[in-house]
Structure 1
Amino acid sequence: MAMPSPSALHSDSAEEKEDIDDDDFHDVEEDMDDDDICDVEIWPATILSTDPLIHEDSAQVATKLRAIFDSGKPFFTRDAISSIVQSFDKALGQGQEQRLDGTVVVSIPDLVGNVIEFRLGTDTRHLQRRGRTSDTELAITEPCLHYLTIEMLLDNLDLCQFGVEPVCAYLPMMVYFRTEQRNKFTKERVPLWPLSTHDEVAASFQAIRQRWLATEHCAQLTSTLNQHAREIPPDIKKVVAFACSSMAISDPPSLRQTSASQHALVLYMRDFLSSRQDKAHDEIKCYAQDPIYEDVDKSVLGEVGIKVLSDPRGFLEVDEMSVVVSIAPNVPVRHIVMDITRPAIMIWDRVKPYGRLTTDPVSSRVMDIIRREYLELEFPYDREDFGHLCIYVRKK
């Protein structure tokens, strides 16, 4: 991609692997590069705030950013994300005619009190010239967010990298559009990869789910959770998943296996907690966010009780009575979640200082919160489908 995907939730294999031995790589991530499996390209929204606003040099901006971060000020807040979603919903029409024509404006506060405005519309003439073939064009589908952590903002201080403008030097969220390839004449979407039918995906998912539930890996997970049952917070109401990928893409076959196993984990956590809390399964809601989901994924997942949400709505479902499942995302899920709330349980990549290259960096803030407030449990190692995960349970 020309720019880092704002809400694609798969990480490049090299990025997430600093300080991990070669033998310990997530093979799944090596097969799940967004550039290889996803035809979602992103396009920046127009910034209406053209005044310089930022008058410091890069060294001064860096000093101020570090001071803001060290003060504990959240980069991502529920109120800011909720306000953005309201603007997105207004532009998308909520069942009425869409208004991605620039008439809706999104206002996002930065870290120093400025409000940056984005217009939810773009010049489609530029998009039409970006088709992958002479018969295709790029078309806008929906707005989304690009999230920037302290590491990313510091890396962008040359104010040129990825097209960053000076006005955005302190801005942790920016508006982009997702796009898709369409036939120039019929206007129908042109997938870049073969997609399976609903029945094929549903049958495959159920088979993979049942196989995984019968594995030693799942048995070890059950044993770990049962051993620490007293530490698990009561009355958990949600399981929110990020970056579990698509089961509809039929090539490579390993992608469906991995995606189905990860979605099986989401349902397993729902069922385990329902049994422990003496609740019906549908009393614990399941949500999933990943821009790569196809309509087939949404349908199949909906049938088994997982509601698919578009970015950034998944983050608004995360609260203190939720479980978060996040596996090698391409956005800073850990930083966003830790700024917004303290979930009851997080199942995600082991918290350790991978370095600033990773797309889901572990900042000192995230590490401090985890060490102070969470109990770390081992998630059984599975090279193919899960890699190096840990279970983090909020202390009582």
Structure 2
Amino acid sequence: MAQNQERVVTPEMETFTSDIQEKQAKGVKFYTKENIQRIAEQLDKYKTGDLADDKFKVPNLKGEEVEITLDLDEPTVWVDSRCDHGDRRGGPYLYYRSAQAMAEYLDMEPFNLQQAYLPIVPLLPRTNGHGCCGRKGKKRAVINPDPTLSAMEVNQEFNVVRQRWEGSDSFARLKTVFKANKPLLTNVTKIVAFACGQLATGPGICSFSANQHALALSLQTLISKAKATKFGFSGVLQTVQKSLKRKKGGHCTPTTVPCFAQDPAYMTIDKQILEGLGFTIVDDPRGFLEVDDDSVVIFLTPNTPIQQVVFDLARPAAVFQEWLRADVNGPEAKYCPNPTSARVQKILDNEYTIVYSSWRHHLRDGELYIRKNLLNKRE
């Protein structure tokens, strides 16, 4: 569509928008683990060359099976206008559509009713205006440049940021919150972090990315220690002896609670460093398959509607996410990559309590939500 060309809205489009809004109002889940699992398995087959004719079969919200062929020579209706943070580097990627984006269907040209009902679309990176990496069909350069530091240098710089975080007032307040809510700590079985970003960028590291990963590691330590205390010294001794890993810097960290990290932008050097620190790196969308009611989920500034996905899949024990600003959320947030929705806002208002707000210096506008029944629970 030309930049200033006005879209003609047909009765079919109007009916579709009303249907999406009605589904949202009724609390219909747009994302399910069953469908995400199916897509993950097809992605695996595509990468190994075992997906027949490179054709994905993806279920839409009407229960129809939509066939999508990944072929740069084949036309596509999709226009992915989000900023590219390196998450579309190289191979196929998954494009998640928020309820607002679906209702407005501005990411489609031309409109296709069957595909309009797709909340997740497998795509190949394109630069021809369809499925492209920039707005209005223009190619947008990858924001994060390739790293020039060695893995050892990146690891050293990360440790500096991590020590600064762990010595901050923000972390001290976070520890106080968690210690005051032991039921939360002892019931958590895993941490799942999304879209924390590349550590290594150009000649240095990204401090915001480093702080997010440091947050995940500090939560891992806090929760592991709390669970160890709950189960008593004798039981813990055997568990901790099996789970302690020697880290660079000469200290041991209990890793009884796994910490998963998913970000398509990770490069080989990021995965190498993070795995050495105790993270389990998973490919998109397998991080979502790890989300459950006993997990702590972290996502601060994702480039995809993670909060809508997460709260369709589960009610995590705690969620660390960005402050829900009114100007980039709600029904009008069609351009926001990670907007809330009426359904998500109702869940947060009724089932969660904000117990911690970070200082912008470390985690920007991050807030910690804890499920209310855990706050009220007594050991």
TM-score (norm 1): 0.72
Partner of 1:293: 266
Query: How does 1:96-135 map onto structure 2 within 5 Å?
Result: 98-99=49-50, 103-123=53-73
Q: CA deviation at 1:195?
A: 2.7
| Residues 1:56 and 1:117: Cα distance change in structure 2 (over 3 Å) | farther
Range 316-325 or range 194-203, more displaced = 194-203
**Unpaired segments of 5 or more residues in structure 1?**
1-54, 125-138, 181-190
Listed one character per residue, the Cα deviations across residues 32-60 of structure 1 (whole Å, up to 9, x for unaligned) are: xxxxxxxxxxxxxxxxxxxxxxx952111
**Unpaired segments of 5 or more residues in structure 2?**
1-9, 75-87, 128-143, 229-235, 241-253, 374-379
Query: How does 1:212-231 map onto structure 2 within 5 Å?
Result: 212-230=165-183
Q: In the alignment, which of 157, 165, 169 is matched to residue 204 of structure 1? A: 157
Listed one character per residue, the Cα deviations across residues 283-314 of structure 1 (whole Å, up to 9, x for unaligned) are: 21111111221101000000011122221111
Q: Tell whether 2:227 aligns with 1:277.
A: yes
Partner of 1:71: 26
- Runs of 4+ more than 6 Å apart: none
Partner of 2:121: 174
Is the 8 Å Cα contact of residues 185 and 227 (structure 2) preserved in structure 1? no
Partner of 1:145: 94
Partner of 2:45: 90
Q: Tell whether 2:194 aligns with 1:242.
A: yes
Give % identity: 29
Partner of 2:285: 312
Partner of 1:188: none
SS state of the match for residue 325, structure 1?
strand
Provide the C-alpha distance between the structure 2 equivalents of 1:302 and 1:178, rounded to a whole number of angstroms.
Answer: 27
Provide the C-alpha distance between the structure 2 equivalents of 1:228 and 1:359, rounded to a whole number of angstroms.
Answer: 32
Q: CA deviation at 1:235?
A: 2.7
CA root-mean-square deviation = 2.7
Is the 8 Å Cα contact of residues 237 and 321 (structure 1) preserved in structure 2? yes
Partner of 1:58: 13
Q: CA deviation at 1:326?
A: 0.4
Is the 8 Å Cα contact of residues 185 and 226 (structure 2) preserved in structure 1? no
Partner of 1:391: 368
Listed one character per residue, the Cα deviations across residues 104-127 of structure 1 (whole Å, up to 9, x for unaligned) are: 422111112221111244439xxx
Higher RCO (C-alpha 8 Å, min separation 6) = 1
| Residues 1:387 and 1:111: Cα distance change in structure 2 (over 3 Å) | same
Q: In the alignment, which of 104, 117, 120 is matched to residue 155 of structure 1? A: 104
Listed one character per residue, the Cα deviations across residues 170-193 of structure 1 (whole Å, up to 9, x for unaligned) are: 11111112589xxxxxxxxxx954
Q: Which amino acid aligns with 1:323?
A: V
- Structure (1 or 2) with the greater helix fraction: 2
The number of aligned residues is 309
Q: Which amino acid aligns with 1:389?
A: G
| Residues 1:392 and 1:142: Cα distance change in structure 2 (over 3 Å) | same
Provide the C-alpha distance between the structure 2 equivalents of 1:282 and 1:247, rounded to a whole number of angstroms.
Answer: 21
Is the 8 Å Cα contact of residues 143 and 177 (structure 1) preserved in structure 2? yes
Is the 8 Å Cα contact of residues 87 and 104 (structure 1) preserved in structure 2? no
Q: Tell whether 2:351 aligns with 1:373.
A: yes
